[in-house]
Amino acid sequence: MKAFELSLYLVLDPNLCRSRSLVETARAAVAGGVTMVQLRDKIAGTTGLVAAGRALMDALAGTGVPLIVNDDLDAALTINADGLHVGQDDMPADEARHRLGRGKILGLSVETEAAAQAVDPSVVDYVGIGPVFATPTKPDHKPPIGLDGLTRIVATSAVPAVAIGGLKAAHVPSILASGAYGLAVVSAICGQPDPKAAAHALRMAIGNERSGKQFRRGRR
Ligand SMILES: Cc1ncc(COP(=O)(O)OP(=O)(O)O)c(N)n1
Ligand SMILES: Cc1nc(C(=O)O)sc1CCOP(=O)(O)O
Ligand SMILES: [Mg+2]
């Protein structure tokens, strides 16, 4: 399996990318410090996802940043993506793992402690927990879990967690304090006038928060 790092996970949605292409946005975001990229297009269909996914695979080659395909296992397999992300209402994780093979990254959305408890770490590599806050990016999202809900669900998870839903740079301290390893965002990068600068600001906030914690632990 390609190594993965959940600190800053860009979920690419063409609806939010304004006039920029997915490739342009991904390149800029990776230059700004994004560590994972997901292709999420709810209307493209498998053919559209395959075309967009191939272009993204080329753009990310050599960067070390994995490309995850949302929902569509066939598209992920066709382009030999680094992994797949499924939700509770998508294909069951067991089946996704079986068809994906052991060498790929599999992410699963969880919205409750019960769902987090049910995650099998031999099947699922990471969980996406949300929505932390309400967001117009996903109109069909479940009720927001808030920071307390996030903290409880993270504590239940046997695999690394990334928080998602309405997250901006100002939320970095509270999200990391919840125990989540990182943040997954759409509009905080995709919808921004300068996606590289937006990604950089998020990544710096994450780095500062982590180093600040180390410093505080060492103080008398
Ligand atoms: C990292 C990450 N976490 C959660 C989701 C949401 O997945 P899902 O609940 O299946 O909803 P859709 O994105 O498919 O609308 C995600 N995509 N990525
Ligand atoms: C794709 C997605 N999944 C969610 C979940 O709660 O599972 S919230 C969401 C959209 C996140 O977009 P933004 O960063 O613009 O708020
Ligand atoms: Mg889904």
As a whole number, mean pLDDT of residues 29-54 equals 98
Q: pTM for the full model?
A: 0.96
Q: Is the pLDDT of residue 217 over 70?
A: no
Ligand 2 centroid to residue 79 C-alpha, Å: 24
| The pLDDT of residue 2 | 80
In the chain, the domains with their CATH numbers are 8-218 (3.20.20.70)
Q: Is the pLDDT of residue 18 over 90?
A: no
| The pLDDT of residue 218 | 55
ipTM for the predicted complex: 0.99
| The pLDDT of residue 19 | 85
Q: What is the pLDDT of residues 51-110, one digit of tens each?
A: 999 999 999 999 999 999 999 999 999 999 999 999 999 999 999 999 999 999 999 999
Q: Which atom of ligand 1 is nearest to the CA of 87?
A: 10
CA distance 119 to 107: 10
- Name the pLDDT band for 214 (thresholds 50, 70, 90): low
Numbered residues of the known binding site = 38-42, 70-71, 90, 109, 135-138, 166, 186-187
| The pLDDT of residue 1 | 80
104 close to 82: Cβ distance less than 8 angstroms: yes
CA distance 186 to 171: 14
Ligand sitting nearest the alpha carbon of 111: 2
For residue 143, is the peptide bond before it cis, meaning its omega torsion is within 30 degrees of 0? no
Burial status of residue 43 (CB atoms within 10 A of its CB: 0-12, 13-18, 19 or more): exposed
**Tokens, residue 114:** 């019960």
CA distance 42 to 159: 26
Residue 141 in contact with ligand 2 by CB distance below 6 A = yes
DSSP E strands in the chain: the ranges are 8-12, 36-39, 67-70, 83-86, 105-110, 126-129, 161-164, 182-185
